[in-house]
A and B are shown apart, each in its own frame.
Chain A
């Protein structure tokens, strides 16, 4: 199944067509494997590629960035907003309170950061997993 190679942390789609299998491999390449880590020496340089099967990849892809976004744990409506764009928050700080199924739930900052966007105002409703507040991404 086509998957991905992580090269320097960036995912590159990887597939193998049957024709590729038949064609003789480029002779100048030297390859070594250590589990999912594949090392390729080509053109006088060594490169590390880390195989990621597609299901894992797409799961992680949708999970990543989750840290930047506080999402609705259930459908509901906003009853209180404690922050505005540009506010600094610390992990665990209450940013919003929502009401759902007659329960009030606090939406807390998933990490320390700066509020980039407040997606819903008081009274607005939303679906489960809807983005409520997005924090500015942290440069890696």
Chain B
């Protein structure tokens, strides 16, 4: 396969300026991640110490196989919610290797509000378990939660994808034959009690672990019965009397060791067969991505330069290189796995939409997973394009994206605006994983564009009455719109709301996709079949 010939001038001023800008962006990302992962008020740390509990990150490292990667998901969930007071939504989620098996790890963070579940915590857990279902990955739960955050119960209790979904997903996993092991390292109260109860295996730490529907205060209030935590739901009671828990452990590390041994008993799923070759690192240094991504997201750049810094050997077999050139399509390998890549080099026209729809079907027939590298401002609009059937051609692409049976992976590299996002496998299209780079904005349209549309509507209303607006009045309409859009279309907002599975430092994309593809192949791939394409 031919290597992409890079045309980047790494000594040029644009490259250097981009690089400085993007390094700042990444430094900001790293700083926020570090804060979410490790920075806690001393009193919270002290409380863990007093309780003899390990910090969540230490639990994680003890659980994972040494010298193996961990792909953390939605690290910055809730970073723009709850006044930023619930880092990571009080949850940890990710894909790691335990006893040689790829597993999903879900953990409550007791150092954040005692591990209480906020609405976004629930959303994160549900998404984590969706990932387990879609990719048939065993789950390790590290349970340590005070229960739901009651003041916000309306936002996490009753609806279809609220807390009940966690337990529904657990049950479905079990039904699918995908095992789960829960390690009870703190209290599992109320709904939380069902996480260990619905896990195929569970381990409970003596002294700190407890499982009950209602804790001692609730019992006292309800029935007047006075009962200790240990009597009510401690390790010895549950492992010897109720049978709610399976293995008692004398310490957290002991519990983790037992859980690791349990995971080591899981029969490995047979992986879906896709074309694979010995991996090769990219020929072009991924660090150069920093100099390629523009400072202003509106500046165009060639996505082939990005592809060259993600794929094996920077090799790319481009499909239809001369047709529909605003959508770059072609085959490459990531960590040895053959993938079909669709990347935006501009707005989607009729021809690029047709090309995309066709290429998706080629990949699906060929059992080749799909990678969408989004930098999309939308489908082309205008009389000429409507007459050529841009909506009809866009529908073809959306039909292909929706129907493809092979796993899909999406990275928002720069921008994801408008209906183009649908064609490029946005969140609604069930990509197995969706990541975003720190400058990757997403919204129904660009901020300026939206402001213009809104002021235009206002001006027309006024014009009907013969009124008009001063420049100041126009700005007064425009500015809040732009400000609101800018906030809500930022990558940090998207990831806060869990519209993606997390932000990536661009240089991490290759590893993240490798781990994601490998994980996705634990689920069998259905035969290709589609709905009706409007021809």
Interface residues of A (CB under 8 A from B): 1-2, 15-20, 54-55, 57-59, 61-63, 75, 127-129
User: What residues of chain B lie closer than 8 Å to A54, measured between beta carbons?
Assistant: 253-254, 257, 260
Closest beta carbon of chain B to A21's beta carbon, Å: 9
Contact check, B230 vs A75: say whether CB atoms are below 8 A apart: yes
Complex Cα distance, B99 from A16, in Å, reads 12
Q: Which residue of B lies closest to A3 (CB)?
A: B257
User: What residues of chain B lie closer than 8 Å to A19, measured between beta carbons?
Assistant: 67
The reply on B85 being an interface residue by CB < 8 A is no
Contact check, B66 vs A127: say whether CB atoms are below 8 A apart: no
Which of B66, B236, B254 has a CB less than 8 Å from the CB of A55? B254
Q: Which residue of A lies closest to B263 (CB)?
A: A1
Contact check, B66 vs A16: say whether CB atoms are below 8 A apart: yes
Interface residues of B (CB under 8 A from A): 65-68, 99, 206-207, 228-231, 234, 236, 249-251, 253-254, 257-258, 260-261, 264
Complex Cα distance, B230 from A62, in Å, reads 18
Which of B65, B231, B234, B250 has a CB less than 8 Å from the CB of A62? B250
Contact check, B67 vs A18: say whether CB atoms are below 8 A apart: yes
Listed by A's residue number, 12 A-B pairs whose Cβ atoms lie within 8 Å are A1-B257, A15-B66, A17-B68, A54-B254, A54-B260, A57-B257, A61-B250, A62-B250, A75-B228, A127-B207, A129-B206, A129-B207
Contact check, B67 vs A17: say whether CB atoms are below 8 A apart: yes
Contact check, A59 vs B67: say whether CB atoms are below 8 A apart: no
Q: Which residue of B lies closest to A128 (CB)?
A: B230
User: What residues of chain A lie closer than 8 Å to B258, measured between beta carbons?
Assistant: 55
Q: Which residue of A lies closest to B264 (CB)?
A: A1
Complex Cα distance, B264 from A54, in Å, reads 14
Contact check, A58 vs B257: say whether CB atoms are below 8 A apart: yes
Complex Cα distance, B262 from A55, in Å, reads 12
Contact check, A58 vs B260: say whether CB atoms are below 8 A apart: no
Complex Cα distance, B254 from A63, in Å, reads 12
Closest beta carbon of chain A to B304's beta carbon, Å: 33
Complex Cα distance, B100 from A17, in Å, reads 11
Contact check, B230 vs A127: say whether CB atoms are below 8 A apart: yes
Q: Which residue of B lies closest to A125 (CB)?
A: B228
Q: Which 10 A/B pairs are nearest by Cβ-Cβ distance?
A: A17-B67, A58-B254, A62-B250, A15-B66, A54-B257, A17-B66, A55-B257, A127-B230, A58-B253, A1-B260
Which of B67, B230, B250, B257 has a CB less than 8 Å from the CB of A20? B67
Complex Cα distance, B249 from A58, in Å, reads 9
Contact check, B67 vs A58: say whether CB atoms are below 8 A apart: no
Residue of B65, B66, B207, B260 ringed by the most chain A CB atoms within 10 A: B66
Contact check, A127 vs B254: say whether CB atoms are below 8 A apart: no
Given A1-B260, A1-B264, A128-B236, A58 and B250 contact (CB-CB distance below 8 Å): yes
Given A1-B264, A17-B68, A20-B67, A59 and B230 contact (CB-CB distance below 8 Å): no
> Main SS of the interface on chain A?
helix
User: What residues of chain B lie closer than 8 Å to A62, measured between beta carbons?
Assistant: 250-251, 254
Closest beta carbon of chain B to A20's beta carbon, Å: 7
Closest beta carbon of chain A to B101's beta carbon, Å: 12
Complex Cα distance, B228 from A38, in Å, reads 47
User: What residues of chain A lie closer than 8 Å to B206, measured between beta carbons?
Assistant: 129
| Known contacts A17-B66, A54-B260, A75-B228, then 8 further A-B pairs from the complex at CB < 8 Å, ordered by chain A residue | A1-B261, A19-B67, A55-B258, A57-B257, A58-B257, A62-B251, A75-B230, A127-B234
Contact check, A18 vs B230: say whether CB atoms are below 8 A apart: no
Closest beta carbon of chain B to A62's beta carbon, Å: 4
Closest beta carbon of chain B to A26's beta carbon, Å: 18
Contact check, A127 vs B228: say whether CB atoms are below 8 A apart: yes
Closest beta carbon of chain B to A32's beta carbon, Å: 25
Complex Cα distance, B206 from A127, in Å, reads 11
Complex Cα distance, B250 from A61, in Å, reads 9
User: What residues of chain A lie closer than 8 Å to B260, measured between beta carbons?
Assistant: 1, 54
User: What residues of chain B lie closer than 8 Å to A59, measured between beta carbons?
Assistant: 250, 254
Complex Cα distance, B252 from A58, in Å, reads 9
Complex Cα distance, B251 from A19, in Å, reads 30
User: What residues of chain A lie closer than 8 Å to B261, measured between beta carbons?
Assistant: 1, 55
Closest beta carbon of chain B to A2's beta carbon, Å: 6
Closest beta carbon of chain B to A30's beta carbon, Å: 25
Residue of A1, A17, A59, A75 ringed by the most chain B CB atoms within 10 A: A1
Complex Cα distance, B358 from A140, in Å, reads 76
Given A75-B231, A127-B230, A128-B230, A2 and B66 contact (CB-CB distance below 8 Å): yes
User: What residues of chain B lie closer than 8 Å to A75, measured between beta carbons?
Assistant: 228, 230-231
Complex Cα distance, B250 from A57, in Å, reads 11
Q: Which residue of A lies closest to B260 (CB)?
A: A1
Which of A1, A18, A61, A128 has a CB less than 8 Å from the CB of B99? A1
User: What residues of chain A lie closer than 8 Å to B231, measured between beta carbons?
Assistant: 75
Complex Cα distance, B235 from A127, in Å, reads 12
Contact check, A61 vs B251: say whether CB atoms are below 8 A apart: yes
Complex Cα distance, B219 from A118, in Å, reads 32
Q: Which residue of B lies closest to A15 (CB)?
A: B66
Q: Which residue of B lies closest to A61 (CB)?
A: B251
Complex Cα distance, B66 from A20, in Å, reads 10
User: What residues of chain B lie closer than 8 Å to A15, measured between beta carbons?
Assistant: 66-67
Q: Which residue of B lies closest to A54 (CB)?
A: B257
Complex Cα distance, B67 from A16, in Å, reads 8
Q: Which residue of B lies closest to A16 (CB)?
A: B66
Closest beta carbon of chain B to A86's beta carbon, Å: 27
Complex Cα distance, B206 from A61, in Å, reads 14
Closest beta carbon of chain A to B68's beta carbon, Å: 7
Complex Cα distance, B67 from A19, in Å, reads 7
Complex Cα distance, B251 from A63, in Å, reads 11
Contact check, A127 vs B68: say whether CB atoms are below 8 A apart: no
Complex Cα distance, B314 from A128, in Å, reads 62
User: What residues of chain B lie closer than 8 Å to A17, measured between beta carbons?
Assistant: 65-68
User: What residues of chain B lie closer than 8 Å to A128, measured between beta carbons?
Assistant: 230, 234, 236
Complex Cα distance, B52 from A61, in Å, reads 14
